Amino acid sequence: MKKEIIILLALIVALSAYLFMRDTDGTSYELPVLDTVSAGDVDRMEIKTKTKTLLFEKQGETWTVDLEGFPAKQDQVTKLVETAGDLTLTAMVSEAESYSRYDLGPDTAKTILLYNGENLLRDVTVGKAAPSMGHTFVTIEGDKKVYHAKGNFTSQFTADPERFIDKTVFNLVPAEVTTLAVNMGDTSTTLSRATEPAEGDAAPKAVWKDQDGVTLEAEKVDTLIASLSRLSCDTWMLEKKQDASPALTLTLTTDRPYTLELFGDAPMHGTATDRDLGFALSETKGTDIMNAVKALTEAPTPELTQTDD
């Protein structure tokens, strides 16, 4: 009886191992185990489709996108690199090389390449999400089989550069801006943040004053500074404006100055501190900035102070 139990247990173990190692076609296999590629080791990534190749390159600690080297959304690109570098294969799906049904055919597949210099670190082709929505169909370099990879990440990888271009011109904290210098035509104005002493139990009041000590409408100044502090462009340009004087120059100072130069009529071209590329603003955004500045420089309205009758 004891011998029969031992034999039965041995059969159960053998059958379990067989079932674990078999695929849907009844063929035994061992899943490849991919080495993890550290995101810090990657300085170039390519996303290739049938018609496009999208290039990401790391300049120092900063990612750029496309051959033109546009600023990239850093967190988003880093996530792509981490996803491609940390793939876990969970099952072998097919050996039949029927790739189209998994969106791994030449018309729909996306090949992801990670490099360090000229050294290829990862080569994986991404298809559609599996029906479970918890896996993605992939193939790996040198292997014709289709696998499940852990996670639903196919939508993250696209060769459309607009998904990844960071159009931020300035990313400042409005409350940290202490001065705003404006130069427009023959007009130059410098606005400074000040604090008026409190009266009684009232809290001290933050105000803006021009170079003549005139107190301006704080709401107008704060609104303009808020829009400039979070300024984004419509498009980046490969060359900065070189052949004309700026129509408007604005300098916001926090711990250091940040200068914005705008050229011509809307849609306006511009340059900015810390940006190697020029940029274009939409007609609406350019007009709004010009109008807001004119309201401050051409007809500043002092804040009213209460007087006794």
Domains of the chain: 31-163 (no CATH), 174-297 (2.60.40)
**Joined tokens for residue 5:** 């139990």
Tokens coding 42: 């990657």
Model confidence, pTM: 0.80
Which residues make beta-bridge pairs with 188?
Answer: 183
From CA 261, how far away is CA 278, in angstroms rounded? 10
- Element at 29 (helix H, strand E): none
Are 157 and 110 within 8 A, CB to CB?
yes
CA distances from 250 to 23, 181, 229, 255, 272 (A): 66, 6, 11, 16, 10
| Angle ∠(195,198,200) on CA atoms, nearest 5 | 180
The tens-digit pLDDT sequence of the chain (309 residues) is 566 666 655 656 555 544 444 444 444 568 999 999 999 999 999 999 999 999 999 999 999 999 889 999 999 999 999 999 999 999 999 999 999 999 999 999 999 999 999 999 999 999 999 998 999 999 999 999 999 999 999 999 999 999 999 999 999 999 999 999 999 888 899 999 998 877 767 777 889 999 999 989 888 999 999 999 999 999 999 877 666 789 999 999 999 999 999 998 766 899 999 998 999 999 889 889 988 998 887 654 555 444 444
* Contact present, 301 and 219 (Cβ < 8 Å): no
**Closest to 169 (Cα-Cα) out of 287, 288, 70:** 70
